[in-house]
Amino acid sequence: MNIQESRIMNKYHIEPNTVQETLVIPLYGRRVCSEHFPHLFKDPEAERICSLLDYDFAEKGKKMESTAGLFGALEVAQRQYDIGCEVRDYLKERPKAAVVNLGCGLDDTFRRCGNGDCLGFNIDMPDVITIRNEILPPGERERNIGCDLNDYSWMDQIEAWEGAVFYATGVFYYFRTEDVKNLFSEIAKRFPGSVLVFDTCNRLGARMMTKTWLREAGITDVGAFFSLEDPKELEDWSENFASVSAKSYMRGYRDIYPDVGFVHKLMIRLCDNIVKMRIVKIRMK
């Protein structure tokens, strides 16, 4: 067996039309963005992880080469950039805090943002964590936890004596609103002084998503699932919320508007003004 054959055999197989495939989409989006917009995003880790996967990227590649597909890649990469800014800001306040990735998939934000003193906790369903342990085994100050986010037993494993920053990327669209409310309230109650950061859109945006990946996930009753017309709606969810704030998804942390073409500029306006894509931050008392 030659070296090339050995590498192919050692790749981790991703089965199409399964939960495994949902892990590939944001990862591949980051890779595509790195290739097409290197002046904005350079993500060698996404390229490395993709090279470890036994998966036919050809079909996804064709879709992402379109104008809309490239904008989707921009969204994924910008979202990770935004969340990373919030994690780093919190670690400036509390350098030994817990950094908790809710619904982690194959996201590597902790490795990008870790300062050597903080602790990383990556949480997802057990079958996802099985894949993650193969592709992204935990580092010295990092732990992968296989658990349903709605089973709050995972919270017992979070070592948050010095504070905690919780974050989720592309996760809560799959959750019913009542489940999101209960989860946020429980985090606020158990982790005073923590911060929770996540991405969101309004109901129109959620309806648009049903034509793509939400439909593939079997979600048709969008009204029952989590979306936000105005982040201020969250203020009454828990007496343990100190504040709720939000920034533009595509322009709030680093304004990429001047660096993209005309059509992508229009799409950014759509995200900001029509579907209300935001990064929301909740500070706990």
- pLDDT score at 16: 72
Per-residue pLDDT averaged across 60-72, rounded? Answer: 79
Tens of pLDDT, residue by residue over 146-203, are 999 999 999 999 999 999 999 999 899 889 999 999 999 999 999 999 999 999 999 8
Cβ proximity of 184 and 238 under 8 Å? yes
* CA–CA dist 2, 187 (Å, integer): 51
Tens of pLDDT, residue by residue over 217-276, are 444 554 457 899 999 999 999 999 999 999 998 999 999 999 999 999 999 999 999 999
Would you list the DSSP string of 94-153? -TT-EEEEET-TT--HHHHH--SSSEEEEEE-HHHHHHHHHHS---TTEEEEE--TTSGG
Architecture (CATH level 2) of domain 84-255+274-284? 3-Layer(aba) Sandwich (3.40)
DSSP character for 224? G
Q: How far is CA 217 from its chain centroid?
A: 17
* CA–CA dist 123, 167 (Å, integer): 11
Beta strands in the chain (DSSP E): 12-13, 53-54, 98-102, 119-124, 142-146, 164-168, 195-200, 241-248, 278-284
- pLDDT score at 219: 44
> What are the two backbone dihedrals, phi and then psi, of residue 228, each rounded to the nearest 5 degrees?
-135, 125
Per-residue pLDDT averaged across 2-12, rounded? Answer: 49
Res. 73 pLDDT band, cuts 50 70 90:
confident
**In sequence order, what are the beta bridge partners of 101?**
122, 167
> Which region holds residue 152: left if phi is over 0, alpha if psi is between -120 and 50, else beta?
alpha
- pLDDT score at 71: 87
Tens of pLDDT, residue by residue over 14-27, are 777 666 677 787 88
User: CB neighbours (10 Å) of residue 97?
Assistant: 24
- pLDDT score at 64: 74
- pLDDT score at 272: 92
Tens of pLDDT, residue by residue over 131-144, are 899 889 999 899 99
- pLDDT score at 7: 41
- pLDDT score at 21: 72
Tens of pLDDT, residue by residue over 84-130, are 999 999 999 999 999 999 999 999 999 999 999 999 999 999 988 99
- pLDDT score at 8: 43
Q: At 255, which amino acid appears?
A: D
What does pLDDT average to over the chain?
A: 87
- pLDDT score at 63: 72
Res. 3 pLDDT band, cuts 50 70 90:
very low
